[in-house]
Amino acid sequence: MADRPLSPHLSIWKWGPHMTVSILHRVSGDGMAIVGLGVLGWWLGALASGPDAYATFSDHASSWYGIAVLIGLTWAFFNHASSGIRHFVLDTGAGYDLDTNRTYSWVSIASGVLLTAIVWLYIIVERGI
């Protein structure tokens, strides 16, 4: 049994931004699927149930924890989209050398954060939240 080759494990790989982007892509996709569908379902249910149910949803959505969830979902969307664009570029055969891949990874992470900040600054300025 000891002569069998061992499969690589995280402990032997040097951590890099491409690994972070891969994990964040999975986390953001799962977050949108689980949390996003829950919020969407609650919003649609409240919308169909009348003004009192919608007011309850709106109160929770505009509270500090509701805004935190919505900001998290916004980040998940932009992070997942940025990472998806990065993967699309990689699928064309471009960007496989380490320096370019590292740069694309950092751009993917930064663009998710930056786009989220821009959207929420707009919401705060326009809506006065």
The token duo for 14 is 């040097």
Residue pair 66/100 in contact (Cβ under 8 Å)? The answer is no
Helix axes 51-61, 64-91, angle to 10 degrees: 70
9 is in an annotated binding site: no
Kindly write down the DSSP assignment for every residue of 20-75, as one continuous string: HHHHHHHHHHHHIIIIIHHHHHHHHHHHHH-HHHHHHHHHHHTSHHHHHHHHHHHH
> Which DSSP helix (H) or strand (E) runs through 9?
none
Binding site, annotated residues for heme: 80
Binding site, by residue number, is 80
